[in-house]
Amino acid sequence: MRRNLLLRIIAAFFGALFLAVPSQAQEVGDEKDPELRAELVRLGKEDQDIRGGFNRFRREHGLFGIDNKTLNEKLNNDEPLKKALLTYAQLMGQLDDNRLLRMKEIVAKYGWPGRTLVGTEAATAAWLIVTHAVRDVAFQRLALEAMKKLQQCEVENSQLADLTDRVLIGEGKKQLYGTMMRVGEDGKFVPEPIEDEANVDKRRATLGLQPLAELIRRSNKTILGK
């Protein structure tokens, strides 16, 4: 159970890291609720700070860019390292849960906090927080449906695709847009199973997203240097 949770937390980290494609942030003051904007930006920074530290830890200990089998083998052969990584991952999960509680209050009160309400930067922060709610797929689904109710200009298409895929995989289904990946045995990113994979690029194109092959190429080069 602890191992599965650890791998889900790591997967959530990976997804947000190389699939977040924020557009130009609005000027501060354009949003309807500047206080909520400031709060979400702060929460988003906290979210990224803990993940930055987790990423550095994994790089320093040779745990970055390896498949799950290799990861488990390394951890099982080094109990102190395994304990340290689990402790870090559990701390990250606890902090994610704290931010999630606040996001539930925000969505219950406002619906999805889009650009008009809080500006682009804060809306992206809200998305990041929800993507990391890996232990509450039901709320991720609720947030996704709230996203869909807004006009297209209120939500980043890349974020809509990402959350859609996260929810589907969390529900035990195949993803639609190929945004969720794992590290394969060759040490490179490969997509998790995709529904009707032959037409994935058509679906991606409807949201203005680059072809899947290009996403994979850039992800491997940018994140793994391969």
Q: Answer with the residue of higher pLDDT: 51 or 18.
A: 51
When pLDDT is cut at 50, 70 and 90, the band that residue 185 belongs to is confident
Q: How confident is the model at residue 30 (pLDDT cuts 50, 70, 90)?
A: low
- pLDDT surpassing 90 at residue 211: yes
Q: Which of 29-38, 96-105, 113-122, 166-175 has the lowest mean pLDDT?
A: 29-38
**What tokens appear for 173 in the block?**
């289904």
42-57 pLDDT tens trace: 999 999 999 999 989 9
**Mean pLDDT across 67-87:** 90
Say yes or no to pLDDT of 169 above 80.
yes
d(CA 29, CA 142): 29
Q: Which of 113, 115, 95 is nearest to 104 (CA)?
A: 113
Query: Taking residues 167-192, what's their average pLDDT?
Result: 92
Least confident of 25-29, 109-113, 175-179: 25-29
HSE-CB of 87 using CA atoms within 13 angstroms: 7
pLDDT at 172 over 90: yes
The pLDDT assigned to 16 comes to 39
Q: Which pLDDT value is given to residue 143?
A: 98
- Residue 146 pLDDT > 70: yes
The answer to whether 59 touches 141, Cβ cutoff 8 Å, is: no
Q: Where are the domains of the chain?
A: 2-224
- The share of the chain scoring above pLDDT 70, in percent, equals 85
Q: Across the chain, what does the average pLDDT equal? A: 86
* 152 vs 194: which has the higher pLDDT: 194
| DSSP, residue by residue, the chain | -HHHHHHHHHHHHHHHHHH----PPPPTT-SS-HHHHHHHHHHHHHHHHHHHHHHHHHHHTT-SS--HHHHHHHHHT-HHHHHHHHHHHHHHHHHHHHHHHHHHHHHHHHSS--HHHH-HHHHHHHHHHHHT-TT-HHHHHHHHHHHHTS-GGGS-HHHHHHHHHHHHHHTT--BSS---EEE-TTSSEEEPPBTTGGGHHHHHHHTTPPPHHHHHHHHIIIII--
Q: What is the pLDDT of residue 64?
A: 83
- In the prediction, which pLDDT does 186 show? 82
pLDDT at 221: 84
Residue 72 carries which side chain, given as an amino acid letter?
N
Task: Provide the pLDDT confidence category of residue 41 given band limits of 50, 70 and 90.
Answer: very high
